[in-house]
Structure 1
């Protein structure tokens, strides 16, 4: 509530926390199990391993200038 209020300039008492339709499915355990099974079937190397999604935000002013400073990531340390 405080974050939505601040972001949208709304008083906290006027916000009703009902969830976020686009992300509510991520809290569905049945859906999680289904997706996990599908991913493990498609990518058997990930079976019984923790999988991390790295989805950097867009940087730049258009598709010609889009970039991400990958040099700032220590991939060896991340893998450990």
Structure 2
């Protein structure tokens, strides 16, 4: 899980108890922006991976898979 995913969950939990402060709203917006960027990048790489697979370009596919792995959170 990325840090922005954890913070989104924390903020959402706070929201159930009380209204957010302006700073919390700003953080939430930043986390949503980070999540959107992450999701679109991953979608793009997955689509490129499919293209590489369909064209049997396994060197390119390997590069794309490495890019996808780099996007994943470190354990």
After TM superposition, the score normalised by the length of structure 2 is: 0.28
Q: Which has the higher contact order (CA 8 A, sep 6+)?
A: 2
Greater fraction helix? 2
Of structures 1 and 2, the larger Rg is shown by: 1
